[in-house]
Amino acid sequence: MARRSIVGSAKLIAVCTLGSRITGLVRDILLAQAFGLAWVQDAWVYAFQFPNLFRRLFGEGALAAAFVPTFTQTLERDGEDSAWGLLARTLALVTVTLSALIGLIALIILGIWLATSGPTEVVQTRGLLLSLTALMLPFMLTVCVLALFSSILNCVGSFVPAALTPVLLNVCMIIGIGWLAPALYPDSDRSQVYVVALTVLAAGVLQILVILPVVRAHGVRLGWKWDLRDAGVRRMLKLVTPVLLGQGVLTLGVFLDAQICVLLTHKAGTPASATWLGWTFAYPLEEGALSAVTYAQRLYQFPLGVLVISLATAALPTFSRLAAREDWGTWLGEVRQALRLAVFEGLLAGVMMIVLAEPIVRLLFEYRDFSADDTQRAARILTIYGFGMWAFCAQHIVTRAFYSVGDVRTPLKISLVLLPVNLALNLVLIWFEAIREAAFAISTSLTYSLAVVVGLLLLRKRSATKLLDMGSGTALVRMVIAAGAAAVVLVLVQPAWAHFAAGIPGKLATRAVETFGLLGIGACVFLLAAWLLRLREVRLLVVQRPRRGNGGEPTSP
């Protein structure tokens, strides 16, 4: 598959993903208005961490990274019959394994619930957390099966349906948050959040029902067969464990962040201090800490999902196909270009978040129960995430480059080393009054940056060639210059533009003109500077395809 195919597919996925991200943003706006930065919202975010964790680990992580190369190789070398057989065995493995895990987690939650004691306020706050978490568990299964079907469609060259299925989830949640929950329980936030959880479960079933006919329409033969002795399944299982651990360590870092955040947050009506191993301490975090971090994560994940995950989704089958054919010259060119494009997009998004975090958060969330103080909390965290945006984007490409050549152990080793670093930073930084909940953004940005740098160094050794050659290195310098130019212009223009926007009648209109105007100015300056600096990523993102030289490398730097 040519580079035009990867970038073209990425653009198509990005357009579809944009729809899901927009509806997801509407969902988050409604959640912020309904629950603000309070314990009910913290409990909802915590409960949703479980299906999200398994989606990232099994669905988009280990399962996709192990299944896509194995399925692609089987389809290329052994034909469709063998590929459909591998799919049937994989589907059986996924459903049985996840069902067992769900049962185990449910038993653990039940045990904790039965063991809960103390003042009424403590029992109630913990009960909300545990009951919501238990209610969300079945969604783990449907979201992972959906991810398997999406991987199949990607392998056969169909990207649109899989990219659109999240829209169904978001629409169901929007109905639940905006209409059904308040209609059923107008005076109870706690009751409303349970209704929202039920709409998520309904959406999971609906997504499967919608994508099944699409899978069949592409000639995919579905089945269900339990057979761990199959050679393809055994090969995939050998990949799954290290991939699961490798991706899981950094993903688990986000999950563990949530545990730390919840455990060290003071809930209204409960004691302000706690004792652990004879040490009495005041809780360092306030209610809403987990929600503030999560809203900031949602905002940086918006451009990440639309731009870079779309690129990485389109790239993995191509990387794997080229590796299977041992076409290393073209493989190297594809990886280099994908990495450059990911960093380019990451710097563009990152500079916007660094300079414009507060107006972005204010425009989207500061209504009803979401206060100006809440905006300050979330914006401070978003600014820090902006500094790590380039790494969040590049990491997706670096990891997929390893997986495409069957190297699943190197990302594992990197993650195993960096997880303790991430945890240590969190546990140290949250106690500083000037940092507090921003510690989670600092640790994540630093950890991902280290992961990318180390991954590039090790990938160079793995591929026996420089992944970042002189042309790529100078291009990265020019990207940083373009980002710096955009930041300077935004800082200079922002006060005058905000004053202009303040004269427009209507609070929403004022905020929209201020934010979108500044985003437009920043993007234009960045792209103009990149064009003047002769960065080919501008042409790639618009329409043109760079000319190729020998070995699959573009002729322009």
Continuous segment of H or E residues that includes residue 130:
helix 120-136
pLDDT band at 553; cut points 50, 70, 90: very low
Q: Tell me how many domains the chain contains.
A: 1
pTM as predicted = 0.83
Confidence class of residue 251 from pLDDT cuts 50, 70 and 90? low
Rounded to an integer, what distance in angstroms lies between the CA atom of residue 267 and that of residue 269? Answer: 6
Radius of gyration, CA atoms only, the chain: 24
pLDDT above 90 coverage of the chain, percent: 43
Q: Is residue 242 part of a domain?
A: yes
Query: What is the domain extent for residue 259?
Result: 3-545
Q: Is residue 553 part of a domain?
A: no
For residue 550, pLDDT over 50 is answered with no
- Quick: pLDDT tens for 140-181: 888 888 888 887 887 777 777 877 888 999 999 999 999 999
* 3-state DSSP helix/strand/coil % of the chain, to nearest 5: 80, 5, 15
- Is residue 200, in this structure, part of any structural domain at all? yes
CB of 46 closer than 8 Å to CB of 290: yes
In sequence order, which residues have a C-beta less than 8 Å from that of residue 414 and are 6 or more positions away? 246, 451, 454, 455, 458
Nearest to 27 by CA among 163, 170, 172: 170
Query: What is the model's pLDDT at position 227?
Result: 80
Q: Is the pLDDT of residue 123 over 80?
A: no
Helices (H), 185-288: 189-217, 231-263
Report if residue 552 sits inside a domain.
no
Residue 550: inside a domain, yes or no?
no
The residues with which 275 forms a beta bridge, in sequence order, are 280
Q: Look at residue 482 in the predicted model and tell me its pLDDT.
A: 97
Closest C-alpha among 150, 154, 148 to residue 91: 148
Tell me if 288 is assigned to some domain: yes
- Which secondary structure element, helix H or strand E, spans residue 273, and what is its range? strand 273-276
522 phi, psi to nearest 5 deg: -65, -45
Residue 81, CA distances (Å) to 20, 156, 219, 221, 366 in order? 34, 14, 11, 9, 55
User: Cα(255)–Cα(239) distance, rounded to whole angstroms?
Assistant: 23
Q: What is the pLDDT of residues 21-59, one digit of tens each?
A: 899 999 999 999 999 888 899 999 999 888 877 777 765
Cα separations (Å) of 20 from 26, 174, 233, 268?
Answer: 10, 12, 32, 35
